[in-house]
Structures are given as C-alpha cells and as structure tokens.
Amino acid sequence: GAGVSQSPRYKVAKRGQDVALRCDPISGHVSLFWYQQALGQGPEFLTYFQNEAQLDKSGLPSDRFFAERPEGSVSTLKIQRTQQEDSAVYLCASSLAGYNEQFFGPGTRLTVL
C-alpha cells in the first residue's frame, strides 16, 4: 500500500513505562505531522517536521514527549514515563509540502494503565 502506516496499532503500557510510536509516511512526502486524539475529541497538533528538521513542536504537552525524523522519512514519537492522561490515539500525517493535503495514518491507540 502507498498510504501512511503506523506501528504498533495498539499499545498498552503501565504507568511510568517509556513507549515509542512509529510512522512511515508516503514516500517522497516532505512534511510530517503528529496529532493526539483523545476519545471523542478532534485531533490536536503535537509537532511538525519538514524533512529532518522539526519546525514546530509547540503542541508537545510536556518534556516527556519527544519526536524525531533523523533521515527525513520515518518518524518516531517517544513518550517517557507514561501517565494515564497520555492515553489517546496518536495520528501521523504526511504531505508533499506543508500546505498540501495531509494524508493520515490509521493511528496508534495508546492505553496507559
């Protein structure tokens, strides 16, 4: 498939554990976005990459959240010392360039117990 893929699709973590969520964007897409979607809510912006450069991380809720895209393709969102309030679906989206249509992956549903 040529769409955005995310892994794992589901993740259960105990409070205090670290987790890493992976996003494989559409090949050739320069821009990559991470969003957090709480149950029953619309997605909220976390961070944005243009190639390997993280241009906006204003939506990251705390310093426990860290994202990287070292080679300008695959991206990883890492959450350290997970808390129950981190439970949500984490969506990744990619686009040809920042202002083009964003294509979303299926998301990773994180549950923190």
Partner 1 sequence: TQLLEQSPQFLSIQEGENLTVYCNSSSVFSSLQWYRQEPGEGPVLLVTVVTGGEVKKLKRLTFQFGDARKDSSLHITAAQTGDTGLYLCAGRSFGNEKLTFGTGTRLTIIP
Residues that bind partner 1 in the complex, under the rule CB under 8 A: 4, 31, 33, 35, 40-45, 48, 55-56, 59, 91, 93, 98-99, 101-102, 104-107
Complex with partner 1: residue 40 or 70, whichever CB lies closer: 40
For residue 85, what is the DSSP state? G
Complex with partner 1: residue 66 or 104, whichever CB lies closer: 104
Complex with partner 1: residue 80 or 87, whichever CB lies closer: 87
Complex with partner 1: residue 17 or 57, whichever CB lies closer: 57
Q: Least distance (Å) from partner 1 to the CB of residue 44?
A: 7
Q: Least distance (Å) from partner 1 to the CB of residue 21?
A: 14
> Which two three-digit tokens encode residue 82?
């997970």
Query: Going by C-beta distance under 8 Å and a sequence separation of 6 or more, which residues neighbour residue 21?
Result: 6, 7, 8, 11, 76, 77, 78, 79, 90, 108, 110
